[in-house]
Chains A and B, each alone.
Chain A
Amino acid sequence: MTDNRQPLLTVDHLVVTYGHIQALHGVSLQVAAGEAVAILGANGAGKSTLIRALVGWVIPAAGRVVYAGRDITHAPSWERTRLGLAVVPEGGRVFRDLSVEENLRLGAYLETNPARVAERMDYVYRLFPVLKERRRQIARTLSGGEQQMLAIGRAVMRGPQLLLVDEVSMGLAPLLVDAVFDALQQLKEEGVALLIVEQNAYETLRVVDRGYVLENGRIVLAGTASELRENPRVQMAYLGGG
């Protein structure tokens, strides 16, 4: 763990409620520039709520989110994207009736330099060659795995400093899970910070530097990837027995 890096994202005692139900009970965490961090947890632990609060889709009841020195707790999502955040949401949420290429163009919505857009599109097509083959295809006709790749590609088009990844392996065949995590690994090696929310702890701990375990809206455990991998509690709950 390299703590000499500046924190890029600081989440400070974040509380999110839906009506009377509290989904996050004061979550605090940090992600440094270029660092890959996992949030592990079971269904309903509050992982997706955390991502939604970081993207700006829910407004927290209390606490703070600071990104690159700026308080973005209440900022609309497009301003967060402008600052360098991008998201691969749960289920991919590609723009269903648009082509693969149009989806990617929308990912680079804030990039006004056409040369850079073309460059990033080439990069995405190298990352996921199947997207290039299907660039004129309408997104809803892609397979689940291809839609996840498109969702990652769309986020990469932003050229983000921090990529939020929500349950990217859900519902994917094992071979595709490998391909998707290989792509995340490559992004990390190129200096993109990652915050990966996952149930699939095995693949995730392969890619990340550190991780947190979220249970019932609280962080109950934090450590490096190897510490978490060795932890009996993590092994029991998330790595399929001990």
Chain B
Amino acid sequence: MTLWNILLDTLTQGSIYFLIAVGLTMVYGILKILHIAHAAVYTVGAGVGLAVFRLTGNFWAALAAAMVVSGAVGVLIYRGVYFYMLDQPRIVPLITSVGLFLLMQDLLQKPYLMGPYQHAFPAQDVFPSLTLPWGTVPSAQVMILVFTALTLGVLYGVFTRTRLGLAWQAAAMDRDMAGAVGVNLNRAIALNFLLGSALAGAAGVLVGVFYNSVYATMGDVPSYKAFVVIVLGGMGSVSGTVAASFLLALAETVLLSSVGYVLPRDAIAFLVLILVLMFRPQGLLGR
């Protein structure tokens, strides 16, 4: 593997990890709930995106629909389920979330939804591939990198420049106190789920197109890998999640290209997790 390939692979994988994990981080930041069902929201996004793409042939319509539906599903999960567990010990929403994930994934495997098959997502060459002096960036990767760069910019702006972003930060530090200064927590948390879930839905579409494959259990690996990312990033820290996503992707790519497939890619994440928990249990950027 050339250096260029390592870099490109790291950026692409890191982007995917980030898009999936950031919603989990945002939810954990405010509610301290490990929202495992987030990975099913990601699959819903991929499914909706594919359905709309088949109907319209338009990638942008598919991406938009996936974000809208996933965002709505996220809000529904909050208002319909977690909302009633906010005062319960944390194990209650955690177990609920695992149950919800299995329920949603089993539903998605029903023949009238996605069935037990892999579906192609043939939205290729939406973007032109990019030729740089060091090498070529294929179309699907241009799409992922552009979308991630835009998302990072928008998130940074929302968190640091808007009233809502300040309210989210405050609620992540002290939820009750944020309510007492006047933040409508019901609305702020619903919007938090809306944005995080919409990004997971977008990630579902991007991954589906990148691997040209969408299937009901595609959330399995992300469900635990996103968990690794938010632990590495320091539980609830958005900037930590950015760092952890790309560092994990870098570790995976470098190990695979130097040592080869001694370990499956997904096992490396847990190797990194164990090392971090041993030597820096507060996460990479956590305190």
A binds B: yes
Task: Bits for B146-177, please: 1 = Cβ < 8 Å to A, else 0.
Answer: 00000000000000000100110110011011
Segment of B181-189, B223-231, B249-257 engaged in the interface with chain A: B181-189
One of B166, B173, B181 near A81 (C-beta < 8 A): B181
Question: Which residues from chain B contact A77 at a C-beta distance below 8 Å?
Answer: 176, 179-180
Decide: B174 and A93 in contact? CB cutoff 8 A. yes
Decide: B180 and A110 in contact? CB cutoff 8 A. no
Interface residues of A in 47-96 (CB under 8 A from B): 55-57, 76-78, 81-82, 86-87, 89, 93, 95-96
Instruction: Please judge, given known A-B contacts A57-B176, A89-B180, whether A95 and B170 are in contact too, CB under 8 Å.
Output: yes
Decide: A95 and B184 in contact? CB cutoff 8 A. no
In this assembly, does A209 line the interface, its C-beta being within 8 Å of a C-beta of chain B?
Answer: no
Alpha-carbon distance between A110 and B176 when the two chains are bound, in angstroms: 16
Question: Which residues from chain B contact A202 at a C-beta distance below 8 Å?
Answer: none
- Closest chain A residue to B160 by CB distance? A102
Decide: B169 and A95 in contact? CB cutoff 8 A. yes
Q: What's the least CB distance linking A151 to chain B, in Å?
A: 9
Question: Which residues from chain A contact B170 at a C-beta distance below 8 Å?
Answer: 95, 98, 106
In this assembly, does A97 line the interface, its C-beta being within 8 Å of a C-beta of chain B?
Answer: yes
One of A55, A56, A78, A106 near B184 (C-beta < 8 A): A78
In this assembly, does A105 line the interface, its C-beta being within 8 Å of a C-beta of chain B?
Answer: yes
Instruction: Please judge, given known A-B contacts A106-B166, A106-B167, whether A55 and B173 are in contact too, CB under 8 Å.
Output: no
Q: Count chain A residues whose beta carbon lies closer than 8 angstroms to a beta carbon of B.
A: 24
Alpha-carbon distance between A86 and B178 when the two chains are bound, in angstroms: 12
Alpha-carbon distance between A72 and B180 when the two chains are bound, in angstroms: 14
- Closest chain A residue to B163 by CB distance? A109
Alpha-carbon distance between A219 and B227 when the two chains are bound, in angstroms: 50
Interface residues of A in 95-117 (CB under 8 A from B): 95-98, 102, 105-107, 109-110
Question: Which residues from chain A contact B174 at a C-beta distance below 8 Å?
Answer: 93, 95-96
- Which of B169, B180, B184 is the most central at the interface, judged by chain A CB atoms within 10 Å of its CB? B180
One of B166, B173, B180 near A105 (C-beta < 8 A): B166
Task: Bits for B93-119, please: 1 = Cβ < 8 Å to A, else 0.
Answer: 000000000000000000000000000
Question: Which residues from chain B contact A55 at a C-beta distance below 8 Å?
Answer: 180
Decide: A56 and B181 in contact? CB cutoff 8 A. no
Alpha-carbon distance between A89 and B176 when the two chains are bound, in angstroms: 11
Decide: A109 and B177 in contact? CB cutoff 8 A. no
Question: Which residues from chain A contact B167 at a C-beta distance below 8 Å?
Answer: 106, 109
One of B166, B169, B179 near A76 (C-beta < 8 A): B179
In this assembly, does A218 line the interface, its C-beta being within 8 Å of a C-beta of chain B?
Answer: no
One of B163, B177, B179, B185 near A95 (C-beta < 8 A): B177
Instruction: Please judge, given known A-B contacts A105-B166, A109-B167, whether A95 and B173 are in contact too, CB under 8 Å.
Output: yes
Question: Which residues from chain A contact B177 at a C-beta distance below 8 Å?
Answer: 89, 93, 95
- Closest chain B residue to A155 by CB distance? B181
In this assembly, does A154 line the interface, its C-beta being within 8 Å of a C-beta of chain B?
Answer: yes
Question: Which residues from chain B contact A56 at a C-beta distance below 8 Å?
Answer: 179-180
Question: Which residues from chain A contact B179 at a C-beta distance below 8 Å?
Answer: 56, 76-78, 81
Decide: A78 and B169 in contact? CB cutoff 8 A. no
Question: Which residues from chain A contact B186 at a C-beta distance below 8 Å?
Answer: 76
Question: Which residues from chain B contact A105 at a C-beta distance below 8 Å?
Answer: 166
- Which of B163, B174, B182 is the most central at the interface, judged by chain A CB atoms within 10 Å of its CB? B182
One of A82, A93, A102 near B182 (C-beta < 8 A): A82
- Closest chain B residue to A52 by CB distance? B176
Alpha-carbon distance between A78 and B173 when the two chains are bound, in angstroms: 17
Alpha-carbon distance between A77 and B183 when the two chains are bound, in angstroms: 9
Decide: B169 and A109 in contact? CB cutoff 8 A. no
Question: Which residues from chain A contact B182 at a C-beta distance below 8 Å?
Answer: 78, 81-82, 109-110, 158
Decide: A98 and B173 in contact? CB cutoff 8 A. yes
Question: Which residues from chain A contact B166 at a C-beta distance below 8 Å?
Answer: 98, 102, 105-106
- Closest chain A residue to B174 by CB distance? A93
Q: What's the least CB distance linking B111 to chain A, in Å?
A: 44
Q: Which 6 A-B pairs have the closest CB atoms?
A: A110-B182, A77-B179, A81-B182, A109-B182, A77-B180, A93-B177
A77-B176, A89-B180, A95-B178 known, 8 other contacts, Cβ within 8 Å: A55-B180, A77-B180, A78-B182, A106-B166, A106-B167, A106-B170, A109-B181, A158-B181
30 CB < 8 A contacts A-B: A56-B180, A77-B176, A77-B179, A78-B179, A78-B180, A78-B182, A81-B179, A81-B180, A81-B181, A82-B182, A86-B180, A86-B181, A87-B180, A89-B177, A95-B170, A95-B177, A95-B178, A96-B174, A97-B169, A97-B173, A98-B166, A98-B169, A102-B166, A106-B166, A106-B178, A106-B181, A106-B183, A109-B163, A109-B182, A158-B182
